[in-house]
Amino acid sequence: MKAAMFHGAHQPLTTEDVEIDKPIDHEVVVRVVASGVCHSDLHFVDGFYDFPAPAILGHEAAGIVEDVGSLVDDFAPGDHVIACLSVFCGRCEYCLTGRTHLCASRPVRAKDAAPRLRWQGLPVNQFANLSAYAEKMLVHSNAIVKVRDDLPLDRAALIGCGVTTGVGAALNTARVEPGSVVAVFGCGGVGLSAIQGARIAGARMIIAVDVHDHKLQTACELGATHTVNASSSDPVTSIREMTNGGVDYSFEAIGLKRAAAQCFESLRAGGTATIIGMIPMGQKVELDGSTFLREKKIQGSSMGSNRFKVDMPKYIDFYMQGRLKLDEMITRRLQLDDLNEAFRAMKAGEVARQVLMFD
Ligand SMILES: [Zn+2]
Ligand SMILES: [Zn+2]
């Protein structure tokens, strides 16, 4: 099969022929139909996070089951599925207390089994247990969820990471209350999804913050009630003025330590800041310690605190009802060979979401 090979940080990806093993035990082979291009992959290409090469990146995909291992009884060839990097064991303390996204022992292949993926005789590292920039994925059955087949798979793909991460941060991690006041820093795929999560939760005021006017415009189409362009005004001052003192919930969806601090500084007393973005490893976020006396809280959010086998079908129903907008989030559709260009456009802030299509 064809796949985009990652050769290490700061190097372009190349399209290569990769061998994929047959599914064993609890594994499933999925033919990828659509694969979203997520900013998290770019962090590895840019060297802000480490991942060993050779590897296939990509972790936001939807497709159709092609083959299943001998112990799989909940999927069959032809099923439409969404993949999720929150593969879980179902047996650890986190899984047994309903926090499968924090699973402490994600299921991997036995050491003596053949590698799932091989290229030129070398084992290929499987990114996020998925490797979705490829024509097929070989994954554990606890890394996919079956979905209704009347949902177009390019829109389903977005639910695999960006939508689940943003909507879930609002609904699951922060538990935004109806009538509350919210600010979202960063209006890429995840930020736009956090805005939609806040809207679905019933927030009465949703302030979108970004440095690109075209992204703020998309944010308004998806539920933002107010905007701040952080390139022309200080977002903390603007938010405090607009809200008469600060917001109940703020979200950081970029991965910048400065934006994380601003997110916290934008809170009113008792408010909660939720950091979704991937802040580069080793960087410290600085906060004014005295403000903790006002019961301001700051927390991380991982993949929208999802229970994805339950959450993703719900998000699809929201889409079918018109409450979750996905069509507006796809800026353009590309091919596997266009991946380097997709990363360039993402870095330049030109796009919300780009989706690779496999025909
Ligand atoms: Zn992602
Ligand atoms: Zn577990």
Report the chain (359 residues): mean pLDDT per 10 consecutive residues. 97 97 97 96 94 97 98 98 97 97 92 94 96 98 96 96 97 98 96 98 98 96 98 97 98 97 98 96 94 96 97 97 95 96 94 92
Record the tokens describing residue 123, joined without a space. Answer: 């084992």
Q: Which ligand sits closest to the CA of 60?
A: 1
Q: Which ligand sits closest to the CA of 161?
A: 1
* pLDDT of amino acid 352: 85
Instruction: Tell me the domain boundaries of the chain.
Output: 2-160+305-357, 175-300
CATH dotted code for 175-300: 3.40.50.720
Catalytic choice (84, 95, 103, 161): 161
Alpha-carbon span 79 to 206, nearest angstrom: 37
Record the tokens describing residue 347, joined without a space. Answer: 């870095």
Taking the centre of ligand 1 as the mean of its atom positions, its distance from the CA of residue 19, in whole angstroms, is: 25
Residue among 240, 194, 26 nearest 113 (CA): 26
* pLDDT of amino acid 165: 97
Q: Which ligand sits closest to the CA of 255?
A: 1
Topology match between the domains 2-160+305-357 and 175-300:
no
Q: Annotated catalytic, 59?
A: yes
Taking the centre of ligand 1 as the mean of its atom positions, its distance from the CA of residue 41, in whole angstroms, is: 7
Look at the block and give the residue holding tokens 């809280």: 297
pTM above 0.75, yes or no: yes
Taking the centre of ligand 2 as the mean of its atom positions, its distance from the CA of residue 101, in whole angstroms, is: 8
* pLDDT of amino acid 108: 85
Q: Annotated catalytic, 140?
A: no
Q: Which ligand sits closest to the CA of 87?
A: 2
* pLDDT of amino acid 310: 97
* pLDDT of amino acid 111: 86
Count of C-beta atoms within a 10 Å radius of residue 109: 17
Catalytic choice (26, 35, 39, 40): 40
Taking the centre of ligand 2 as the mean of its atom positions, its distance from the CA of residue 199, in whole angstroms, is: 31
* pLDDT of amino acid 359: 79
Taking the centre of ligand 2 as the mean of its atom positions, its distance from the CA of residue 238, in whole angstroms, is: 43
Q: Which chain residues have CB less than 5 Å from ligand 2, an ion?
A: 88-89, 92, 95, 103
Catalytic choice (35, 38, 84, 140): 38
Catalytic choice (26, 35, 39, 59): 59
Taking the centre of ligand 1 as the mean of its atom positions, its distance from the CA of residue 334, in whole angstroms, is: 17
Taking the centre of ligand 1 as the mean of its atom positions, its distance from the CA of residue 161, in whole angstroms, is: 5
* pLDDT of amino acid 163: 97
* pLDDT of amino acid 50: 94
CATH topology of domain 2-160+305-357: Quinone Oxidoreductase; Chain A, domain 1 (3.90.180)
3 state SS for the chain:
CEEEEECCCCCCCEEEECEECCCCCCEEEEEEEEEEECHHHHHHHCCCCCCCCCEECCCCEEEEEEEECCCCCCCCCCCEEEECCCCCCCCCHHHHCCCHHHCCCCCCCCCCCCCCEEECCEECEEHHHCCCCECEEEEEHHHEEECCCCCCHHHHHHHHHHHHHHHHHHHHHCCCCCCCEEEEECCCHHHHHHHHHHHHHCCCEEEEEECCHHHHHHHHHHCCCEEEECCCCCHHHHHHHHHCCCEEEEEECCCCHHHHHHHHHCEEEEEEEEECCCCCCCCCCCCCHHHHHHCCEEEECCHHHCCHHHHHHHHHHHHHCCCCCCHHHEEEEECHHHHHHHHHHHHCCCCCEEEEECC
